[in-house]
């Protein structure tokens, strides 16, 4: 979970107003850890030989660019981490050793993520018993991935370096629903330590699943609902994969998966296949390889061995992978397939695949495909995966080991004893129930609103925004109704725009209508400068109202008048001023009619 304390090792803030004020590009090299060995996952990433481009945001400095060593650790983040650890009853170490975790996929400009172990042990009470905590780590968030195209990946620095509190649990979670409950419980404790603002990426779960085929880690699940979907789809995938393996191993007991990619571009010289022509136009060449014993296992019924291979090669920028279970198809004709068969000589039960790629990748690709298939055939499914919005998971990289960690030599050991004293003095963290009660009691909002604010981790923003404007009902309404509605119908609203809106409202004495108009403009993409300069956010003056009223039919009701003015001006109406004016007009009418009687 992100902590809203400002970044961990520099003095930049969490939020960017401008996401790209300049750019730069880097390569990353493979290095060995302190034990003299290189990590498998890091080696794998290096083989992909990519170039990384970074957008420099206005909340990043030389530290995020890896042009300046880290500064002193953020004390607020450290105190928050220790308070959370104490709440779970974890034992906090006396010293903090900051480590470098090698990550060469470009998501860290330095090639490593700074991370440190704060505490171990403890637990969180859930409805199905205690979920034990294994570790609590304080680390830096990675750079945000913006796009990826083959060997070039683009990242934004706005998120890089934001403190992340990583809480890992023991395998005490029973099922998908229990996982969601535990995640919510733990997230709340961190949120209630203060310093937390809900944003799309502020909470991310890494879900570990083991069905007896090795540990699979699903990285960065940002929605609680996706935890359940991801777990269910992963169970389905591993079950059918295990079945495919048992068929495969019965056909091919020696388990020799020798992947040899052979240049077959000559066969497709006059092809009509759009897949092949499209990739060939960007300089890629067709290669094919035999897949021993895999006929019908690549894509038939529940079997998806083909996707396991396609997910891997995609990470090397290979978009076109075609295999015999789906051929003929994709515009590839039978005579072309016959020529491939003549070249590869598949036997009973054998399959083949065709990939479009650059010649310099062939060596690496064949080795990686071979490794992956052999590993699957050994029923070792352990790896790191990602999850899509629809709940399906995809291969990301091999599971990293301890080899990828070595000390961050730019930061000396940090003494945690004074931090522990401060955390103790601050007392225990508030639990969910007492926070709901406090919000209801102290701010006079409904207990229902309090509960939603707390459940959706919006109590932090509520307290901060209300401290600006001192109008709890308006603040709750904006957070619970206005913003969700605008974000659904129009677009997202940055937290700094929300704060600016409340400040301006306070300064100019603007009411709800103005606040909602401002937020609507922000959500449509206007900058706050534009919003501030727009006359539409300021209510009509008495003089303006008087002029409009004089042109209206005097027989209209007050609600008709309001609707009419709103339609014509699009500006907020000061209801009190309007009532006063209408009242005085009526008085005048009375007076003048009285005179006539």
Q: Rank residues 161 and 228 by Cβ distance to other proteins and give the closer one.
A: 161
Min dist. Cβ of residue 324 to other proteins (A): 36
Min dist. Cβ of residue 140 to other proteins (A): 14
Q: Can you tell me which of 413, 533, 552, 563 binds other proteins, judged by CB under 8 A?
A: 413
Cα of first residue to Cα of last residue in the chain, in angstroms, is: 76
66 HSE (CA, 13 A, CB side)? 18
Cβ atoms of 3 and 77 within 8 Å: the answer is yes
Query: What span, in angstroms and rounded, lies between the C-alpha atoms of 508 and 501?
Result: 11
Query: What span, in angstroms and rounded, lies between the C-alpha atoms of 210 and 395?
Result: 16
Size of the site for other proteins (CB under 8 A): 53
Q: Which stretch binds other proteins (CB under 8 A): 104-112, 224-232, 289-297, 470-478?
A: 104-112
Query: What span, in angstroms and rounded, lies between the C-alpha atoms of 119 and 87?
Result: 12
Q: Rank residues 41 and 396 by Cβ distance to other proteins and give the closer one.
A: 41
Q: Rank residues 65 and 577 by Cβ distance to other proteins and give the closer one.
A: 65
Q: Can you tell me which of 41, 73, 99, 131 binds other proteins, judged by CB under 8 A?
A: 99
Q: Can you tell me which of 101, 292, 323, 372 binds other proteins, judged by CB under 8 A?
A: 101
Q: Can you tell me which of 401, 418, 428, 570 binds other proteins, judged by CB under 8 A?
A: 401
Is the backbone of residue 173 left (phi > 0), alpha (psi -120 to 50) or beta? Answer: beta
Q: Is the dihedral of CA 166, 167, 171, 175 positive or negative?
A: negative
Query: What span, in angstroms and rounded, lies between the C-alpha atoms of 364 and 50?
Result: 14
Q: Which stretch binds other proteins (CB under 8 A): 147-155, 396-404, 437-445, 504-512?
A: 396-404
Query: What span, in angstroms and rounded, lies between the C-alpha atoms of 453 and 476?
Result: 8
Query: What span, in angstroms and rounded, lies between the C-alpha atoms of 50 and 26?
Result: 9
For 235-252, give the secondary structure using H, E and C: HHHHHHHHHHHHHHHHHC
Question: What is the distance, to the nearest Å, from the Cα of residue 256 to the centroid of all Cα atoms in its chain?
Answer: 39
Q: Can you tell me which of 11, 18, 95, 524 binds other proteins, judged by CB under 8 A?
A: 95
Min dist. Cβ of residue 333 to other proteins (A): 40
Q: Rank residues 402 and 484 by Cβ distance to other proteins and give the closer one.
A: 402
Q: Rank residues 211 and 413 by Cβ distance to other proteins and give the closer one.
A: 413
- State which of positions 127-186 bind other proteins (CB under 8 A): 135, 137
Query: What span, in angstroms and rounded, lies between the C-alpha atoms of 391 and 294?
Result: 27
Min dist. Cβ of residue 195 to other proteins (A): 24
- State which of positions 18-57 bind other proteins (CB under 8 A): 24-31, 33-37, 42, 51
Q: Can you tell me which of 114, 292, 304, 404 binds other proteins, judged by CB under 8 A?
A: 404
Q: Can you tell me which of 13, 121, 214, 492 binds other proteins, judged by CB under 8 A?
A: 121
Say if residue 184 is exposed, middle or buried (CB neighbours under 10 Å; 0-12, 13-18, 19+): middle
DSSP code of residue 60 = -
If binding is defined by CB under 8 A, does position 109 make contact with other proteins?
yes
Q: Which stretch binds other proteins (CB under 8 A): 106-114, 236-244, 356-364, 503-511?
A: 106-114
Q: Which stretch binds other proteins (CB under 8 A): 91-99, 146-154, 176-184, 198-206?
A: 91-99
Query: What span, in angstroms and rounded, lies between the C-alpha atoms of 186 and 85?
Result: 11
Binding residues vs other proteins (CB under 8 A): 24-31, 33-37, 42, 51, 62, 65-69, 91, 93-97, 99-102, 104, 109-112, 115-117, 120-121, 135, 137, 401-407, 409, 412-413
């Amino acid at each position: 979970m992100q902590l809203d304390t400002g970044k961990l090792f520099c003095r930049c803030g969490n939020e960017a107003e401008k996401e790209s004020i300049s750019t730069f590009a880097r390569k990353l090299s493979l290095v060995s850890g302190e034990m003299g060995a290189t990590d498998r996952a890091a080696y794998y990433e290096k083989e992909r030989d990519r170039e990384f481009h970074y957008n420099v945001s206005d909340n990043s400095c030389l530290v995020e660019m890896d042009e300046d060593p880290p500064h002193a650790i953020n004390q607020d983040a450290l105190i928050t981490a220790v308070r959370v650890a104490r709440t779970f009853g974890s034992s906090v170490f006396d010293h903090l050793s900051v480590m470098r975790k090698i990550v060469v996929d470009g998501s860290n400009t330095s090639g490593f993520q700074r991370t440190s172990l704060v505490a171990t042990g403890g637990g969180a009470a859930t409805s199905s018993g205690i979920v034990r905590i294994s570790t609590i780590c304080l680390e830096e968030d990675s750079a945000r991935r913006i796009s990826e195209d083959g060997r070039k990946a683009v990242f934004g620095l706005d998120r890089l370096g934001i403190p992340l509190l990583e809480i890992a649990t023991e395998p005490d979670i029973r099922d998908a629903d229990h996982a969601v409950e535990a995640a919510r419980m733990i997230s709340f404790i961190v949120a209630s330590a203060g310093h937390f603002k809900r944003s799309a990426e502020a909470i991310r779960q890494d879900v570990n699943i083991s069905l007896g085929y090795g540990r699979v880690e699903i990285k960065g699940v940002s929605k609680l609902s996706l935890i359940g979907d991801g777990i269910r789809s992963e169970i389905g995938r591993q079950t059918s994969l295990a079945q495919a393996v048992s068929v495969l191993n019965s056909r091919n007991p020696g388990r020799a998966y020798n992947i040899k990619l052979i240049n077959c571009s000559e066969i497709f010289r006059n092809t009509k296949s759009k897949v092949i022509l499209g990739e060939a136009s960007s300089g890629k060449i067709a290669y094919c390889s035999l897949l021993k014993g895999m006929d019908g296992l690549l894509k038939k019924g529940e079997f998806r061995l083909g996707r396991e291979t396609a997910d891997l090669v995609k990470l090397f920028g290979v978009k076109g992978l075609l295999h015999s279970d789906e051929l003929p198809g994709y515009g590839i004709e039978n005579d072309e397939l016959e020529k491939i068969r003549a070249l590869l000589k598949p036997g009973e039960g054998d399959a083949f695949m065709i990939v479009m790629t650059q010649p310099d990748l062939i060596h690496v690709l064949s080795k990686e495909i071979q490794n992956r298939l052999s590993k699957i055939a050994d029923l070792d499914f352990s790896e790191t995966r990602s999850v899509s919005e629809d709940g399906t998971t995809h291969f990301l990289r091999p599971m990293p080991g301890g080899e990828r960690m070595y000390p961050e030599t730019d930061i000396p050991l940090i003494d945690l004893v004074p931090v522990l004293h401060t955390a103790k003095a601050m007392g225990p963290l508030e639990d969910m129930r007492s926070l709901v009660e406090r919000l209801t009691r102290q701010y006079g909002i409904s207990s229902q609103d309090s509960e939603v604010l707390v459940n959706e981790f919006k109590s932090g923003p509520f307290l901060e925004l209300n401290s600006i404007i001192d109008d709890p009902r308006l603040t709750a309404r904006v957070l619970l109704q206005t913003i969700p509605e605008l974000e659904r119908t129009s677009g997202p609203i940055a937290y700094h725009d929300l704060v600016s809106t409340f400040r301006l409202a306070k300064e100019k004495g603007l009411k709800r209508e103005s606040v909602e108009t401002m937020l609507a403009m922000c959500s449509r993409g206007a900058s706050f400068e534009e919003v501030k300069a727009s006359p539409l956010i300021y209510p009509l003056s008495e003089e303006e109202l008087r002029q409009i009223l004089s042109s209206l039919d005097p027989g209209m009701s007050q609600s008709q008048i309001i609707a009419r003015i709103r339609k014509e001006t699009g500006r907020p109406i000061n209801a009190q001023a309007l009532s006063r004016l209408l009242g005085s007009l009526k008085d005048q009418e009375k007076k003048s009619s009285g005179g006539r009687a």
